Amino acid sequence: MKISQAYLRYISEYLEIKGVDMNQITHYKASARLWTEIVGDKPLNRLTMADIAKYTQGLKTYGRRRGLNTIAYYIKELRVVLRYWRLRGEETIDSEIIPIPKREPNTPSFLDKDSVNLMIRTAKRVRTKFVISLLYSSGLRVSELRQLNRDSIKDRQFTVIGKGKKERIGFIDARTERFMIKYLSSRKDSSEALLVTSDGHRASVSTIQLIVKNAAKRAGIKKRVSPHTLRHSFATNFISNNGNIRHLALLMGHNSIQTTAIYTHIVDNDLRREYLAHHTC
């Protein structure tokens, strides 16, 4: 069995049956393609550590430059595939001896509430105001926003299916509700989707990303702003206002509180800057 076949069969025989998120399946398919393009489509029983070193190095330069965190993700996928086939009786490298690159510190990019308010205030279309306000007030992922329907939000509360197909409850604030009512009342289409394009089709992830990007540009914000920036902004604002980290983990849909803990570090950095700015001796 060749490496590309090993990936694709793992997808069809395990991931699809398990019912994982489509984004995960897409990433495994990309891993299979990158392996064959960087190293070649070798048989599993002929893989060497030199091949894996070549793959790791190639991920840094092939096509586009990738950071250590992204490379670590690809190597973890390779280890999973090899472990699966080794358990199935295939002769291949022991996945446990494959090193995973050390991850880089990852400090999320976020906006303060004044910058978010500026984006909303300078936006011309009510749809844009609604999207920004919704992402900031709820902490939704862009893929989660896309799946919401007109009737999903009731009494400023909604339920969404997040990563790992886990269901969670979320909330919006009064401002977002006002924008939602105004936006929905302006629509002429019959689509059940909460957010649609001008022709009435459910908005794609790329459409939502473009809405946010253009709003930031219009507001004169220099940094790169995406829907995920607004998700980070929601979390940072919650922690800054003394919100409980365990409650935030539930609102964000995090499997581990360790993932949520990074926002406490961001607030600590803000606190240190404030101390240095205002303390004299």
31-88 residue pLDDT tens: 999 999 999 999 999 999 999 999 999 998 887 778 888 899 999 999 999 999 999 9
Check if 163 is active-site.
Answer: yes
Q: Answer yes or no: pTM beyond 0.75.
A: no
Check if 228 is active-site.
Answer: yes
Distance of alpha carbon 31 from alpha carbon 54, whole angstroms: 14
The catalytic residue among 129, 146, 231, 232 is 231
195-206 residue pLDDT tens: 999 899 999 999
Tell me the average pLDDT of the chain. Answer: 90
The catalytic residue among 29, 42, 168, 228 is 228
Pairing of strands 167-171, 157-161: antiparallel
Q: Of the given ranges (114-123, 179-188, 259-268), which has the lowest mean pLDDT?
A: 259-268
Asked if residues 212 and 224 have their Cβ atoms less than 8 Å apart, the reply is no
Distance of alpha carbon 257 from alpha carbon 114, whole angstroms: 28
Check if 129 is active-site.
Answer: no
The catalytic residue among 163, 168, 213, 218 is 163
Check if 231 is active-site.
Answer: yes
Give the CATH number of domain 113-278; options: 1.10.443.10, 3.40.50.2020, 3.40.50.300, 3.10.20.30.
Answer: 1.10.443.10
For the chain, the structural domain boundaries read 3-97, 113-278
